Structure 1
Amino acid sequence: MAYQFISSYNFSFIPTSEFNFTRFFFNEPEHLRQQAGEEVYTFYWKNLENQLLEARFSVIILDEKGFSPLRATFGGIEFSEVLPKESLTAFIQSAFCALPKLESLQITFCPESYLSMNQRQVLDFCFEKLSFKHCAVDQNFEIAITDLSFYETIKSSRHKQLLRKAVKNTFFFREEKEPDLALLHAFITRSRVRKNRNMTMTLVDLRQRVKLFPDNFNFFSVSHEQKIIAVGVTVKITEEILYTFYLADDEDYLKFSPTIYLISGIYEFCQRNNFKLLDLGIATEKGIINEGLAQFKKRLGAKMSLKKSFFYDFENK
């Protein structure tokens, strides 16, 4: 089967052909433009028989190094479930040849739960063939959205008790359809500072993202007696995958664990809007596990999948 390799520099080419694979929000041109960097190369693999695009791969250049992504949760190579491993290998090799001279390339892929078993096997083949090296393997946690209630999904009796207590104490969950971004950003920042975690987005950045991508960002809160005690920000990755970008809570309410009630509300939001997967994010930092966070997510019914980052050293090839 014949394929056409298409190279786009700084979005000089935006395809009009149909894609034969699931496209992820973080790899769309509109989001890539927001990740800064010096240059952006995007490569496409077009099936000349059916005229469908079978693969896409973007690399952002900064200081003679390549990144996919530069500033996002993941980047990586998107491709069709029916694309043969030899063909995907040829596509990646063509991309390498089309890139300018680089010192290295780092790629962080989506969690493996986003991919079919066949796609995982094809990727493993390609990276072994091309001698990529793991630079990190993180543990990601996702909850499958089913007809079961969130209460039934929870694995821990203690977490079920905390959910019942939230209802008894008349905690109030709502989607913030007209969010006060300054208020919510300040709340999230306080929560992250308490946990010794850096804030990854300024208020200016958040305002810009929401303005650019109003259909991808959603805001949620849990209140008690008019006081906000938990906040969630989600990002729509696909029509079936919702990612929890920020989860934050009030220190004074930790004994009630309001995040459980918050996630319960987001889970029900997913049910109403036909999402199939709620991604709670990683419980590791550069491969180092946070056992407490991992256990918390498991007890909510989340299952673990691997989120891999690879490194390719051009100078030693």
Structure 2
Amino acid sequence: MAYQFIASHNFSFVPATNFSFARFLFNEAEHLKQQGGEEVFTFYWKNIENQLFEARFSVILFNKNGFSPLKATFGGVEFSEELSEASLMSFLKSVTLALPKIDSLEITLCPTNYLTEKQVQMLENCLKNLDFKEKYSDQNYYINVSERPFYQVLLSKRYKQLLRKSERLGFSFQACRNPNLKEIHAFIARSRERKNRPMTMTLEVLERCFQLFPTQFYVFTLKKSENLLSVAVCIKISEHSLYTFYLADSDKYLGFSPSIGLLSGIYQFCQENKFRVLDLGIATEKGKLNEGLAFFKAHLGAESSLKKTFLLTFEKKL
């Protein structure tokens, strides 16, 4: 089967349709433009027979190195389930040859549950055959959304009790149509400061994300009367996956574990809007496990998958 390799520099070519694979927001042109860097290359693998794009891969150049992504949860290679390993290898080899001279290329792949087992194996085989080395691997937690109520998803008896308690106390869940982003950002910042975790996004950047991606960014809240108990900022990564980008709670209500009630509402939102996966994010940082976070996510009933980062170092010619 014949393919056409297309290289787009700084979005000189951006097809809108005819993709044969699940596309992720972090690899779309509008999101790539927000990640910074010096130059952006997006490579496409087009099936000449059916005219479908069967693979896509974007690389952002910064300081003589390539990154996928530069500033996002993941980047990596998107490709059709029908693509053969030999064809995927040809595509990735073409990418490495088409890139300008750089010192290294770092790729953070999507969590393995976003792909089929066959796709995961194929992609890792190709990367290793191209001399990519695994830099580190993070544990990513997710909940498969089904018809089961969230109460049945929970593994911890204690969490079940806390969820019932929040319902009895009348905590109210809301998917916010027009959130007060200044209030939401300040709430999240206070929660992260309490946990000695830096705020990764300024208010200005958060506001810009909601302006640029109004149908992909969501705010969810849990309240007691007018008091904010817990807040989440979620991102629609694909048609079937909702990612919990920020999850924060108030120190005044920690005894109620309001995040559990909030996640229960988000899970129901996923059911109503046909999301198949509620992605709770990683419980590691560059391979180092946060045991408390992993315990919390696992006892919510979340499963874990791997999110791997690979590095290719190019030989320097004297």
Say whether the fold is shared (TM-score over 0.5).
Answer: yes
Percent identity among equivalent residues? 57
State the 1:227 CA deviation: 0.4
Instruction: Name the CA distance, whole Å, in 2 between partners of 1:315 and 1:254.
Output: 52
Task: Return closer, same or farther for 1:233/1:98 CA change in 2, 3 Å cut-off.
Answer: same
Deviates more, 1:220-229 or 1:241-250: 220-229
What residue is the counterpart of 1:182 in the other structure?
182
1:66 matches 2:77: no
State the 1:49 CA deviation: 1.1
SS at match of 2:234: strand
Q: List, as ranges, runs of 4+ consecutive aligned residues in structure 1 with deviation greater than 2 Å.
A: none
Instruction: Name the CA distance, whole Å, in 2 between partners of 1:194 and 1:88.
Output: 45
What residue is the counterpart of 1:144 in the other structure?
144
State the 1:163 CA deviation: 0.4
Instruction: Name the CA distance, whole Å, in 1 between partners of 2:128 and 2:39.
Output: 28
State the 1:120 CA deviation: 0.7
SS at match of 2:33: helix
What residue is the counterpart of 1:281 in the other structure?
281
Deviates more, 1:271-280 or 1:223-232: 223-232
Deviates more, 1:221-230 or 1:19-28: 221-230
1:35 matches 2:30: no
What residue is the counterpart of 1:26 in the other structure?
26
| Structure 2, unpaired ranges of 5+ | none
What residue is the counterpart of 1:195 in the other structure?
195
CA contact (8 A) 1:232 1:245 kept: yes
State the 1:16 CA deviation: 4.9
CA contact (8 A) 1:76 1:107 kept: yes
Q: Which amino acid aligns with 1:153?
A: V
Task: Return closer, same or farther for 1:316/1:176 CA change in 2, 3 Å cut-off.
Answer: same
SS at match of 1:122: helix
Which whole-Å deviations, capped at 9, do the CAs of 1:55-88 have from their partners, x for residues lacking one? 0000000000000000000000000001111111
What residue is the counterpart of 1:245 in the other structure?
245
What residue is the counterpart of 1:162 in the other structure?
162
TM-score by length of structure 1 reads 0.98
Q: Which amino acid aligns with 1:245?
A: F
Instruction: Name the CA distance, whole Å, in 2 between partners of 1:182 and 1:17.
Output: 36
CA contact (8 A) 1:17 1:51 kept: no
1:128 matches 2:128: yes
Instruction: Name the CA distance, whole Å, in 2 between partners of 1:15 and 1:239.
Output: 18
* Counterparts of residues 207-226 of structure 1 (less than 5 Å): 207-226=207-226
TM-score by length of structure 2 reads 0.98
Instruction: Name the CA distance, whole Å, in 2 between partners of 1:316 and 1:92.
Output: 20
CA contact (8 A) 1:103 1:314 kept: yes
Instruction: Name the CA distance, whole Å, in 2 between partners of 1:15 and 1:292.
Output: 43
Instruction: Name the CA distance, whole Å, in 2 between partners of 1:17 and 1:264.
Output: 35
What residue is the counterpart of 1:98 in the other structure?
98
Instruction: Name the CA distance, whole Å, in 2 between partners of 1:16 and 1:280.
Output: 29
Which whole-Å deviations, capped at 9, do the CAs of 1:256-292 have from their partners, x for residues lacking one? 1000001000000000000000000000010011111
What residue is the counterpart of 2:119 in the other structure?
119
CA contact (8 A) 1:76 1:109 kept: yes
Instruction: Name the CA distance, whole Å, in 2 between partners of 1:116 and 1:16.
Output: 25
Instruction: Name the CA distance, whole Å, in 2 between partners of 1:50 and 1:100.
Output: 30
Between the two proteins, the alignment pairs up a number of residues equal to 317
Which whole-Å deviations, capped at 9, do the CAs of 1:117-174 have from their partners, x for residues lacking one? 1101111210221121111100000000000000011011010001011111111111
Q: Which amino acid aligns with 2:284?
A: T
Instruction: Name the CA distance, whole Å, in 1 between partners of 2:198 and 2:106.
Output: 22
What residue is the counterpart of 2:56 in the other structure?
56
| Structure 1, unpaired ranges of 5+ | none
SS at match of 1:173: strand
State the 1:17 CA deviation: 5.1
Q: Which amino acid aligns with 2:66?
A: G
State the 1:316 CA deviation: 6.1
